[in-house]
Amino acid sequence: MIMTQIESQIRYVTNIDGDTTDILVPIELWQQLMSSVNSDNVSRLGWVDEQEPKAKILGDLQESVRQAAAGQSFPVSELWDDMKA
């Protein structure tokens, strides 16, 4: 979506003095914007995932390997529940 298409869909809110205070964005446009902001075009990871410290990622991976080596497994439903939280 090009910028002129985006700009034509937003509405400006002004105060009594005529100063712009807010904008109104259609929900579909907002969702598209948030999707593009929240994911990297190359990795497809969300911004939060990209900002996670490497030490935490490594620690999580080490813990997963330890659990796998110990024969620990989890039901898929439990994994999905963790992703929703």
Is the model's pTM score more than 0.85? no
Measured CA to CA, the distance from residue 51 to residue 68 in angstroms comes to 26
Along the 85 residues of the chain, how does pLDDT read in single tens digits?
677 888 899 999 999 999 999 999 999 988 887 777 666 666 666 666 667 788 888 888 899 889 888 888 777 777 666 655 5
Contacts of 67 (CB under 8 A, 6+ apart): 73
Contacts of 5 (CB under 8 A, 6+ apart): none
Measured CA to CA, the distance from residue 8 to residue 34 in angstroms comes to 18
